[in-house]
Structure 1
C-alpha cells in the first residue's frame, strides 16, 4: 500500500514537471514586429553562451527593445551580424519564461530584414 502511494506521488511530480517544461518550451505569449536601429548584438555568457541584442526605437536611444536569438536560428544570427548599426525590422515571439541556455529575455527574434528609417531626411 505504501509503495503504491509513493509510486503515484512520484509519478504525479514527474508528470507535473514534464508538463510545466513542455508548456514553457512550446507556448508563446505574443508575436509581433518591431523596428529600430540595431545598436547591439553579442554572444555572451559564462556558463551558457547566448545571442543577445538591442534595438533603439526612439531618438537618442530613449526606448530600447532587448531581445534574444535561439542558437538554431543561424540565418537570423548571420543577418543581424551584417546589419549592426542599420535600421531593421524584426519579427519576434514572446514567451512566458525562458531557460538560461536560451537567452536573457523573453523576446526571441525569428526573422530580420533591413528597413528604411523614418528619421532619415529625403
Structure 2
C-alpha cells in the first residue's frame, strides 16, 4: 500500500517537473521577424560554444532608467551552423531574421531567449540609412 502511494507520488512529481521544463525551455512563447543592420555574429562560451549576434534596428528607444535614448538592439542566438556562417561573413548588411522566443535560456542553445531559425532577406545597407 505505501509502496503504491510512493510510486504514484513519484510519478506525479516527475510529470510536473517534466511539464515545467517543457513549458519554460522548449515551448515557443512567441515568434516573429526583426529587421536591422547586423552588428556582429560570434561564437562564444566557456563550456558550451554558442552562436550569438546583434542587430541594430532603426529608431531609438528609452533606456531602462528612462533618462535617455539608446539605439534599438536585438540580441539573439543561432542554433544552425549554416545560418551562422551566412551571418558571420555579412556583418554590416541589413537582415530580416525570423526568430522564436522561449521563456528560458538553455546553455547549449544560446545566451538569449531569442533563437534565429531563418534568414528571410539580406540586402546591402543603403547610403544614408540607419
- Aligned residue among 92, 97, 104 for 1:97: 104
Q: What are the residue-to-residue correspondences of 1:9-88 with 2, within 5 Å?
A: 9-58=9-58, 62-70=71-79, 73-88=80-95
Greater share of strand residues, 1 or 2? 2
Range 58-67 or range 103-112, more displaced: 58-67
For structure 2, the residue ranges without an aligned partner over 5 or more in a row are: 61-69
5+ unaligned residues in a row in structure 1: which ranges? none
Classify 1:59/1:25 alpha carbon distance in 2 versus 1 (closer, same or farther; 3 Å). closer
**Structure 1 length as normaliser, TM-score?**
0.83
Which stretch shifts more, 33-42 or 53-62?
A: 53-62
Q: Tell me the matched-pair count.
A: 119
Quote how far apart the aligned CAs of 1:116 are. Answer: 5.0
Q: What is the rounded CA distance, in whole Å, between the counterparts of 2:123 and 2:26 in structure 1?
A: 30
| Structure (1 or 2) with the greater helix fraction | 1
CA distance in 2, matches of 1:58, 1:67: 17
* RMSD over aligned Cα atoms: 2.3
